[in-house]
Amino acid sequence: MNKRTVGLFFILLSFLAGLVLAYWTVEEVVSVNVDAEDPLYKEIEERKSKYEWKVEDARIDSVWKKTPGIMGRKVNIEASYKKMKKKGTFDSDLFVYRRITPKVSLDDLPPSPIYRGHPDKEAVTLLINVSWGEEYLPDMIETLSEHQVKANFFIDGAFAKEFTNLVQMIEEEGHTIGSHGYMHKDMARMSKEQATANLEQADELLFGLTKENITYFAPPSGSYSQTAVEAADEMGMETILWTVDTIDWKKPTKDVLLNRVLGKVHNGATILMHPTEVTRDSLGELIEGIQDKGYKITALPSFLSEER
């Protein structure tokens, strides 16, 4: 045999050995008889609720509007019993779960803005609205990269037209790019047709730079009407607002900005910021402070997903 043939022979042998081992493992578990009167079985029944998660559908909240659902899980008692019986003792690490998917998703709901993620999800997301501040963006992008954090940049179409290199830099770093409309206009004062035209103008520029469909929209100054939300929805975009505001455009000190955010951060927080000098200088400490509180920082696709 040549070396290639010998190598393939050993790969096949290892694969077959793995199959045999897996078969024996399954057989050992399956061969355990289920005894509902066994104290171990009863203990699993009594304690399982502590380890189960309630599934929740996406819904329209009276205050927070469109709210994502969240995955649930149920303990498979018999499968868990068989694994623990083999070990001979109760062990929560051996629980076998069945995932439960929400019946209603965000896509099933009527047009409505999104203010926050699910309140049981220990995650936050950074919303960076960009229609000025080009001098601070490169440093902010570098800080995000150093901390391995993905954010959401809502970019004004006029800004994208002038600073294509910055949009491409954001896209290349894997951040989520959303629309901030065109020319920072007040969407609350527009008819549905005007809102659609404004969004289409921005969308054309952003798609041309990223080759990705824009699926999120942040109205300038947080000003919107239901018709603007409907216009965005018809273009395949969710309207995104916030629960925690840095108010960085008022030029607070670094300490004020950090205390303002870290004092209010919560499960499902959406944190609004802009490319300003104080945000650039605070961003690294802000990320570390949020993470020290136990929150994961994710971009909107993961943040709004049903995964825990």
Q: Are 195 and 227 in contact (CB under 8 A)?
A: yes
| Residue that the structure tokens 């609350």 belong to | 188
Residue 135 pLDDT: 98
Domains and CATH numbers, the chain: 30-108 (no CATH), 123-303 (3.20.20.370)
Q: What is the pLDDT of the chain when averaged over all its residues? A: 92
Percent of the chain with pLDDT over 70: 90
Residue 233 pLDDT: 98
Res. 33 pLDDT band, cuts 50 70 90: confident
Amino acid at 222: G
Residue 34 pLDDT: 87
Angle at which helix 39-47 crosses helix 77-87, to 10 degrees, equals 130
The candidate with the shortest Cα–Cα distance to 205, out of 182, 186, 176, 232, is: 182
Residue-wise pLDDT for 83-103, tens only, equals 999 999 999 999 999 999 999
Q: Are 76 and 41 in contact (CB under 8 A)?
A: no
Residue 24 pLDDT: 38
Total-model pTM: 0.85
| Residue that the structure tokens 């629309």 belong to | 179
Residue-wise pLDDT for 61-78, tens only, equals 999 999 999 999 999 999
Q: What is the DSSP string of 113-144?
A: -B----TTS-EEEEEEEESS-TTTHHHHHHHH
Question: Is 111 a residue whose pLDDT tops 90?
Answer: yes
Residue 251 pLDDT: 96
Res. 279 pLDDT band, cuts 50 70 90: very high
Q: Are 271 and 265 in contact (CB under 8 A)?
A: yes
Residue-wise pLDDT for 217-233, tens only, equals 999 999 999 999 999 99
Residue 11 pLDDT: 45
Instruction: Give the burial class of 183: count Cβ atoms within 10 A of its Cβ; 0-12 exposed, 13-18 middle, 19 or more buried.
Output: middle
